[in-house]
Structure 1
């Protein structure tokens, strides 16, 4: 987001007003589209209509929701200065992005001058003018909704082609490919750090906190801010299948065209460790679960891990990574067995053992 707050000299004897201009994307600003034209139009309008522009508010942003910095500042300014009730703006869709914006300004009882439309709206406006303005507000909202829908379609198309359709996760960087399309590729400095993150955790000798500390020493930071990556983000990295070359988008698994940072086998190993460590610690004395590491799933061959339910009941289940991370979890992951059942089964097996006198 980029916004500009400009103070203008205040000629005497004119009606005080504020100017508001907005573009909906950084590309528009870079291309010189809209902002300079809007400001020139509104300044000329102010000169002709004898307005004193006491403050200019300019927003350059893409978010669909309210919260535009300069729009919010303008609302605060109008509330703080009740003697200023005129707002100059190019047209309806420059001022409103949703119905909340409309209601917010309506409550301030301001006079809105839509310079390009040749319309002035206030509480004294005719009902037909207010009605037509309301229609335009709804049309503006529909336009924004349509842009959002088209963006989602574009993202889905990219995903279908194996291209990660949004911001690159840590370890990758967004670039423009030779064909002009935006893709991701390994970050020259952070990619090796992310790979080492998986390799270290796969040893089973690191807690997430210890892993994060070690990664900070390796240089795992946010590229823009330079701040160290927190433990929660380290956990998200370890869970992210994208690093294997595969990724999910809208519930569907896609084979990415980007270079993987870890093998599927390594990622699957890490998931098994995470699943075990996500469980509540076992016993007050810090002992391990009785059967952890001794069993594998009969159906898929994956590791069996344990967790505590309701603070006291120990259950075992399969990690469920049946196909090495390629298609979600296996059904056997949802089957749980109480530790007491395993105790009895193990005891029955021991009863079947017989030792001759030579062994004893």
Structure 2
């Protein structure tokens, strides 16, 4: 079988870059294969070396080797150390079988070709399946290890932007704040929490502050920035596979700032309204009566403001409208809101009396939060006593206690917010009602720039 084979390619692979940095595996494979080739009179036409995992097909050098063999029909052999160096998945096996080359597994003392006996092919197939099972088992163990690490409070994978991967004093891989990018991420959340900036404006501010991706040093895109602002890990808590975990890493933002940023993002997603006022007072307040698209303002001849349909759903035939005409229509609508002092007093009294139901619901919600906070505190205390008395492990205590403390802190923050809003709820409503009954007369006096916010 070897007499007809004069040229072959050499293929070597290690599964991780750590193995390559050790400097042993690849040189050992090459030395072994060269010795085999010399002993059997085989000329090595080309060498292909991969330093990466074989879990996915499409390895760089593996693909180049296949292309080489398809182009060089006089080279009909592959020299490789052993089965799991050549392939670890069934797709690679089928690809190599279709190629019709002779494969020498040097360390195993096996030569496989189209002329091999069925028993040899069967045994080789068993080895491929065993190799596939091995890599699947490694993957499963890796996932289990990442889940366990996450539950212990250690971020289990590549550090999010703003952090970096390091080794702690005990040798464990952890994340710490990136001194260059971390402070910018903190400011990014603070800017977002104000509600004054769109995502694109936040991306511009981040770029001006020097925030760059780790790969290539490119400025962060708007989509990347949105993922950053939605990532709970920056508050010290993170979700992993649907579970909430209290991290051991230092947070870049407080829980309150993170919550405020989420409220801004949620509100923007729901209303699709820009964070800052538009240039024209009525932009964003009207839609086209013909097609339902937004109406936008435009200056004509440097001084006249006209509004027209954006035509987002297709060309719209509605004519442009002068701003003065729209002002008059708004004035007419606001004029219908007027009612005298006697009527206002009756409405005021009805609102205060009718607030009793809302007040009860408000108080009940506070009580529910208080009961939940007390329940969590009791669970934390019981957990601590179970640990002291040896009924549970310290590891289980350290995994559960931070999560329950975070949930209790959230209950207390919600209670505080409800207490603060209790008295302001009615007063704000009545103030808004009083403002509305005089809106028509006020609209006449407001400057053009204030009419939108009014």
- Alpha carbons 1:268, 1:324 under 8 Å: kept: no
Alignment of 1:199-210 (within 5 A): 199-210=190-201
Which residue pairs with 2:7 in the alignment?
Answer: 16
Which residue pairs with 2:28 in the alignment?
Answer: 37
Which residue pairs with 1:287 in the alignment?
Answer: 285
Which residue pairs with 1:180 in the alignment?
Answer: 171
- Alpha carbons 2:15, 2:52 under 8 Å: kept: yes
Which residue pairs with 1:342 in the alignment?
Answer: none
Give runs of ≥4 in structure 1 deviating > 2 Å: 279-285, 297-301, 322-327
CA drift at 1:33: 3.5
CA drift at 1:282: 6.5
Find the aligned partners of 2:273 and 2:172 in 1 and give their Cα distance.
50
Report the CA distance shift for 1:63/1:172 in structure 2 as closer, same or farther (over 3 A): farther
Report the CA distance shift for 1:240/1:325 in structure 2 as closer, same or farther (over 3 A): farther
Find the aligned partners of 1:115 and 1:129 in 2 and give their Cα distance.
15
Equivalent of residue 223 in structure 2, options 205, 216, 232:
232
- Alpha carbons 2:54, 2:88 under 8 Å: kept: no
- Alpha carbons 1:212, 1:234 under 8 Å: kept: yes
Find the aligned partners of 1:19 and 1:326 in 2 and give their Cα distance.
61
Corresponding position: 1:95 with 2:86:
yes
Q: Which has the larger radius of gyration?
A: 2
CA drift at 1:28: 1.1
Structure with greater helix percent: 2
Report the CA distance shift for 1:204/1:323 in structure 2 as closer, same or farther (over 3 A): farther
Find the aligned partners of 1:42 and 1:266 in 2 and give their Cα distance.
61
Corresponding position: 1:86 with 2:77:
yes
CA drift at 1:213: 0.9
Equivalent of residue 243 in structure 2, options 216, 235, 252:
252
List gaps (5 residues or longer) in structure 2. 275-281, 287-360, 367-405, 415-428, 438-454
Find the aligned partners of 2:163 and 2:101 in 1 and give their Cα distance.
48
> Could you tell me the TM-score, scaled by structure 2's length?
0.61
CA RMSD of aligned residues (A): 3.1
Equivalent of residue 148 in structure 1, options 139, 150, 153:
139
CA drift at 1:279: 2.9
Corresponding position: 1:56 with 2:47:
yes
Find the aligned partners of 2:365 and 2:109 in 1 and give their Cα distance.
71
Corresponding position: 1:263 with 2:254:
yes
Report the CA distance shift for 1:119/1:326 in structure 2 as closer, same or farther (over 3 A): farther
Secondary structure of 1:219 counterpart? coil
Question: What do residues 317-351 of structure 1 show as CA deviations (whole Å, max 9, x unaligned)?
Answer: xxxxx969969xx9xxxxxxxxxxxxxxx9xx98x
Structure with greater strand percent: 1
CA drift at 1:285: 4.0
The total of aligned residue pairs comes to 296
Report the CA distance shift for 1:325/1:25 in structure 2 as closer, same or farther (over 3 A): farther
Equivalent of residue 114 in structure 1, options 105, 109, 126:
105
Find the aligned partners of 1:62 and 1:205 in 2 and give their Cα distance.
46
CA drift at 1:287: 2.6
Question: What do residues 148-198 of structure 1 show as CA deviations (whole Å, max 9, x unaligned)?
Answer: 111111111211211000000100000011100110000011000000000
